[in-house]
Structure 1
Amino acid sequence: MSERDAVRQISDEDERLAVLERYDVLDTPPEEAFDRITRLTRQIFDVSISTVTLIDGHRQWFKSRQGVDVAETDLSQSLCHIAVVKGEPLIVEDALAHRTIQNHPAVIDGLKLRFYAGMPLRTPDGHVIGTLCAADTSPRAFSQRDQGILADLAQFVVSELELRTLAMTDALTGALSRRAFREEAARAIALARRHATELSVLMVDLDHFKLVNDTYGHQFGDRLLVEVVSTLRSNARQSDIIGRLGGEEFGLVLHQSSASAALEVAEKLRSAIAHLRIDHVDGAVGATISVGVAGLDRTTQDIDTLLERADAALYAAKSDGRNRCIRWETPATPIPGDVRRRVLKGGRIAFNGGRSTMDCTVRSLSDSGAGIDFISTADVPDRFKLLIMADDVSRACRVRVRGDRRIEVDFG
């Protein structure tokens, strides 16, 4: 590949990730509209696996999945990634007879796939952000007619993504959708600035929710989420804004509340959830939450900055043992360029003198630091070099806050 082609490829990938970011769909809860499509895909083609797969900088993440237990894998495990890179359908009738992928990890390990058909999810502006795939552990034929049907189903996925941008509420809990929450929060910030009033944001995460789902089942997990939102709503003011930002993550905007007052509200919410009990055949089940708090101040430029600060405080609360509330503290001397902007950029970290690397996705960025996502942060060292190819950035990093899948770093 020539240097010019390599630069063009990096630029195209950066544009692709920017389009994916505009959909604001990564790490959102399951939605019936997408699950219906993957169920139909399994039934039509009589396969054991179907997913709506989205590809960011370091992983394949399943917006919907049938026949797959995990919600995401790294890119080395992804046949869908191949289809996205090529920008065309990937049809493999028998993986062991397919010279280019017969030794792929998804074939020889993991799901041990023998059949795979991945149809690109091409957006109206021409970018491929993922695939709709049908797969099985046994080989099978896949005709041109089959490919046409899968292409139509893939177009339904893209149409649903377009429609999803108009959705205002989360179907399960009744809280605002993530996009609607961000829009309402942005309006609230504008009003607070115009009228010189205080405002704060809470980021709330349900502790050990995966364990709840694994132990009691997803139906019970859904009941728990509904009860948690109901408890949050009954302990907040009517004017406060509540949104579902992820599977078990929620945001609240508190009008006319300083950060110190918001911390008191957060403790009230934490205590209320800690006393929540839901009946189950095995006995009453309780829950706890971790909360990050951030208040609007003169250094807060927009909703992204405020959410980023609340999110950093949330990760600190989780790292500190969970079931607690932590307030983001403004540095005594503001760091120039410390205002984060929300991004979605492919990255890579290098350590051990450059001998070890890991793919990552940069989710926020400033002149002084970044928020970075991984499949797992367990093997991420405290110091490393971050490479962002699209921006020609190479920065030495030091981990400031470490969560299960995200770290906050300072540069230098």
Structure 2
Amino acid sequence: MTYDPIGRMLITPEDREGPERARRLRGLGLGARPEPAFDALAGRLARLAGTPYAAVNFLGEEGQFFAGLYTPAGPNAVRGLARSLGFCPHVVARRKALVLEDVRDFPRFAANRLVDEAGIRSYLGAPVTDRGGMVLGTVCAGDTEPRRWGRAGLDMVKSLAAEVTADLHRREDGLP
């Protein structure tokens, strides 16, 4: 974790795998342009979860890129974020799913600018991994209201993350 000058914990976890993850993403041709299949998956997640936001997100060294995105702003929404914004960097650092029913209940997450700027109140995300087990990104959903995701929500996001992981494995094998 990093700290600000007055000693409060900031929201961005340390990322020692960032350079290697960026190389892996470049090698797979990911993290620099929208992917229609991932846009479709994000739209499916938003419909299933009943949320205004959903994404397939890949983390590079300096930032995040939404290769798949569903937002109220539509397909022309901004697809990049700094690593210091959002909750996906925590999924990558934890290497496991993250469920936040009300982000304001956690000081680390309540201070995130997306809470104020986009009105995000709840988050659900699961990791996407390459064949070697490196976490390359997330499949995630966000809502503007606190909500109980429950086991069904967690299972759903993990299932969709498994679909993206399977796609990455096909790419690693040179398959379409």
- Correspondence for 2:50 among 46, 50, 57: 46
The TM-score, its normalising length taken from structure 1, stands at: 0.36
Who is 1:143 aligned against? 150
Query: 1:24 aligned to 20, 29, 35, which one?
Result: 29
State how 1:101-180 maps to structure 2 within 5 Å.
101-108=109-116, 110-164=117-171, 165-167=174-176
- Structure of greater relative contact order (alpha carbons < 8 Å, 6+ residues apart): 2
Deviation at 1:16, TM superposition (A): 2.8
Give distance in 2, aligned partners of 1:149 and 1:17: 27
Q: Which runs of 4+ in 1 moved over 6 A?
A: none
- Kept in 1: contact 2:100–2:124 (CA 8 A): yes
* Partner Cα distance (2:104, 2:112) in 1: 10
Q: Which runs of 5+ in 1 are unaligned?
A: 2-8, 168-412
Counterpart for residue 9 of structure 2: none
2:63 to 50, 54, 59: 59
C-alpha displacement at 1:36, in angstroms? 2.1
Cα 1:161–1:144 shift into 2, 3 Å: same
**Contact 2:21/2:61 (CA < 8 Å) preserved in 1?**
no
Identify the structure with the greater strand proportion.
Answer: 1
Q: 2:101 aligned with 1:93, yes or no?
A: yes
Structure 2 residues not aligned, in runs of 5+: 2-14
SS of the residue corresponding to residue 60 of structure 1 reads: strand
Question: What does residue range 315-394 of structure 1 map to in structure 2 within 5 Å?
Answer: none
Q: TM-score, normalised by structure 2?
A: 0.80
CA contact (8 A) 1:51 1:134 kept: yes
The structure whose Rg is larger is: 1
Q: Secondary structure at the match of 1:38?
A: helix
The DSSP-based 3-state class of the residue aligned with 2:20 is helix
| Partner Cα separation in structure 1 for residue 169 and residue 151 of structure 2 | 27
How many residues are treated as equivalent by the alignment? 157
SS in 2 for 1:101: helix
Over the residues paired in the alignment, what is the CA RMSD in angstroms?
A: 1.9
| Residue of structure 2 in register with 1:312 after alignment | none
1:25 is paired with a residue whose SS is coil
**Residue 130 of structure 2 contacts residue 168 of structure 2 at CA under 8 Å; is this kept in 1?**
no
**Equivalent pairs: percent with the same residue?**
25
CA distance in 1, matches of 2:135, 2:34: 22
What SS does the aligned partner of 1:91 have? strand
- CA displacement, residues 128-170 of structure 1 (integer Å, 9 cap, x when unaligned): 0110001111110011232112111001012223335534xxx
Query: Aligned match of 1:72 in 74, 77, 80?
Result: 80
Indicate the residue corresponding to 1:35 in structure 2: 39
